[in-house]
Amino acid sequence: MAVLPVIKIGHPTLRKKADEIDKFDSELNQLASDMIETMQVYNGIGLAGNQVNVLKRIFVIDFGLIDENLSPKSYINPRILSLSGSALREEGCLSIPDVNADVERAARIEVEYQTLDGELVQEELEELAARVFQHELDHLNGVLFIDHLSSLQKKMLEPQLKKLMEANSLV
């Protein structure tokens, strides 16, 4: 396993849509394993391919931070089938360090994804698990949590975000 570099806001890969995965092999397993290790080293609850500069539709979630009896899980080619309810909760992101804001998201979601073996799975997630899934899926579509903020929230965070973007821009 290896800890991968986490890219930060300002890096163009964060704004790109990730590609579907069609090869379920040892390389994919290694990527998932490295992403889980990276997420845990940086104390994250989730990590998407885009965040480690890999434009593939994969993300990982550390369910052990939600329920100590659970383990980290990999999601390949994830999608949301249905959304219900609404919840407001503070979010942060490993790619936008030291920036947190309240984001409204669906409270319960029905999802579909593939396992590392390519098996298609459907399940329902709620509360924090649903929030993290939505946050990570946004990453795979080039969307950041700050894109969900009101104009006022964005205005208040503007100095911090501008500083981070300038520090991490590859332009």
Domain that holds residue 22: 12-168
CA 67 centroid distance within chain: 19
Q: pLDDT at residue 100 above 60? A: yes
Interatomic CA distance for residues 13 and 48, integer angstroms: 11
In a domain, 26, yes or no: yes
Residue 4 is assigned to a structural domain of this protein: no
Alpha carbon distance 1, 152 (integer Å): 42
Tens-place pLDDT, residues 106-145: 999 999 999 999 999 999 999 999 999 999 999 999 999 9
- State the pTM of this model: 0.94
pLDDT at 66: 87
117 lies in a domain?
A: yes
Residue 3 lies in a domain: no
Catalytic-labelled residue, pool 127, 136, 158, 166: 136
Residue 2 lies in a domain: no
Report whether pLDDT(17) > 60: yes
When divided into structural domains, the chain yields a total of 1
Are the CB atoms for 147 and 103 separated by under 8 Å?
no
Cβ(108)–Cβ(85) below 8 Å? yes
- Examine the residue annotation and report whether 119 is marked as an active-site residue of this protein: no
Half-sphere exposure of 87 (CA within 13 A, CB side): 17
Predicted pLDDT at 143:
97
Within a domain: residue 1?
Answer: no
Determine, yes or no, domain membership for 39: yes
CATH for 103: 3.90.45.10
pLDDT tens per residue across span 63-75: 999 889 999 999 9
